[in-house]
Amino acid sequence: MPSPTINNGENTARLREMDQIHLWHPFTQMRLWPGEPPLVIARAEGNWLIDSDGQRYFDGVSSLWVTVHGHCHPEINAAIAAQLKALDHSTLLGLSHGPAIELAARLTAMTPAGLSRVFYSDSGSTAVEIALKMAFQFWQQSGRPEKRSFISLEGAYHGDTLGAVSVGGIELFHQVYGPLLFQVRKLPQPHCRRCRLGLIYPSCDLACAQALEPMLTTHGQEICALIVEPKVQGADGMIVQPKGYLKRLEQICRRHDVLLICDEVATGFGRTGAMFACELEDVSPDFLCLGKGITGGVLPLSATLATERVYQAFLGEFHEFKTFFHGHTYTGNPLACAAALASLDLMEKNRVVASLAPRIAQLKASLAEIARLPHVAEVRQQGMMVGIELLEDVAAERPYPPELRLGHQVIMACRKRGVIIRPLGDTIVLMPPLASKEEEIALLLKATAEAIADITGGRP
Ligand SMILES: *Cc1c(COP(=O)(O)O)cnc(C)c1O
């Protein structure tokens, strides 16, 4: 068996060459790829990634927003190893198993009131597809078949499969696939600094949320559900919703009997400073989509939670065919469920959410300094989620020309300082693991501030 590749320049060169011959990387312009030989990550320890040459990097985006307790945590690893000895995989189609059952009970107990049923899949995108299909079929089987269209937000991101892209609102990801997508009504983005309605919070009285009311008064009869990323629109650049926004959406949905789907794939499991972002606004959705941090960031798993009301609409005689006709091959994989259970145990034992406050405050204090850099248009933070938006001319709201790849330049400058992050366009994203230590957050912020100052050429 080959051992993990460490301190072996020859092997790294070979892997890099093969990468360029055989791999197609996600969200990556592959023509530019050979120009910057990739780091080949060989190991991870705590909040650090170690490449095949033995260089250590702080994992400043939690390996794409998933790492909770740090990498290779001994308790999660032990839980997976123990599960692997007992049962590697078995299907949930027609059979059941302990880890899936126990995790479902844990999830329904810890999520907002009313969510009583757990449907597993393997990625955030599929968790969203499942919520969309369930919501659609719910009305078909509840005597309201005309309720069949969805509402979502401008700037929304719900994943990359076609249903998820249909309810998405990021133009760049949307354009090419337009002809394949279904039509969705859009609410104006709740983005105070760049308010679409030209208003100012709080005197606006949440007009961007209130826009839902006339939409539902006119079209409510045909609207099936509203889908929203609660509190933070992640992939559009960490757009933080004003206080009261989510609650207002919920109230309007309830008045018009429109189902509410909360996509907490990014925000769930402590990311926002609460266990779930819905808690920040005391919201109880009809569907909750979970993914990313659910296993502590170790194995692919996702879950769509639904209320008993939704679930009941799918019950009937076999020949009525009210069944939810959906299921992925690896749904509820026992190893992934065991990892998730171990991660939840650690969350409780280490009081992860309660102990975030000092790290969040530390981020906030250091970000205030970054906000003073001349090309920083806005710093957005909710808990352990941060977006730093860079503009060429802040006063004129003029972005950098895309060919500069400014965000990319900044993250490469961070890499030289021992920190791995990944931007969203020219918004620099910081998503440190929830278990980050004080000195690690300090390193992350120092590297980011220096990199931004270096690349944008401006000090305060
Ligand atoms: C990442 C993300 C998804 C998609 O999850 P995948 O596991 O990448 O399919 C969906 N919704 C939100 C809010 C996300 O951040």
Question: Which tens digit of pLDDT belongs to each residue from 270-303?
Answer: 999 999 999 999 999 999 999 999 999 999 999 9
pLDDT higher than threshold 90 for residue 7: no
Residue 369 CA, ligand 1 centroid: distance in Å: 31
Cα radius of gyration (the chain):
22
Do 224 and 148 form a contact (C-beta atoms < 8 A)?
yes
The architecture (CATH level 2) of 39-68+353-456 comes to: Alpha-Beta Complex (3.90)
Using the 8-state DSSP alphabet, how is residue 70 labeled?
Answer: -
- Kindly state if the Cβ of 229 falls inside 6 Å of ligand 1: yes
Residue 234 CA, ligand 1 centroid: distance in Å: 9
- Kindly state if the Cβ of 295 falls inside 6 Å of ligand 1: no
Best substitution site from 158, 162, 287 to test ligand 1's pocket, by max atoms within 8 Å of Cβ? Answer: 158
Using the 8-state DSSP alphabet, how is residue 424 labeled?
Answer: B
Question: Which tens digit of pLDDT belongs to each residue from 359-372?
Answer: 999 999 999 999 99
Alpha helices in 256-321 (DSSP H): 277-280, 308-312
- Kindly state if the Cβ of 125 falls inside 6 Å of ligand 1: yes
Domain boundaries, the chain: 39-68+353-456, 76-349
**Which H or E element spans position 46?**
none
Do 362 and 438 form a contact (C-beta atoms < 8 A)?
yes
Residue 125 CA, ligand 1 centroid: distance in Å: 6
Question: Which tens digit of pLDDT belongs to each residue from 146-163?
Answer: 999 999 999 999 999 999
Best substitution site from 292, 298, 304, 384 to test ligand 1's pocket, by max atoms within 8 Å of Cβ? Answer: 292
SS3 state at 191: coil
**pTM, whole model, 2 decimals?**
0.97
CA angle 165, 169, 174 (to 5 degrees): 50
Residue 200 CA, ligand 1 centroid: distance in Å: 30
- Kindly state if the Cβ of 265 falls inside 6 Å of ligand 1: yes
- Kindly state if the Cβ of 235 falls inside 6 Å of ligand 1: yes
Using the 8-state DSSP alphabet, how is residue 241 labeled?
Answer: P
- Kindly state if the Cβ of 123 falls inside 6 Å of ligand 1: yes
- CATH class of the domain defined by 76-349: alpha beta
Question: Which tens digit of pLDDT belongs to each residue from 68-117?
Answer: 999 999 999 999 999 999 999 999 999 999 999 999 999 999 999 999 99
Atom of ligand 1 nearest to the CA of 124: 5
pLDDT higher than threshold 50 for residue 229: yes
- Kindly state if the Cβ of 191 falls inside 6 Å of ligand 1: no
Atom of ligand 1 nearest to the CA of 128: 10
Residue 253 CA, ligand 1 centroid: distance in Å: 23
Band (6; pLDDT cuts 50, 70, 90): low
Average pLDDT, the chain: 96
The type of residue at 190 is: P
Beta bridge partners of 41: 51
Residue 122 CA, ligand 1 centroid: distance in Å: 11
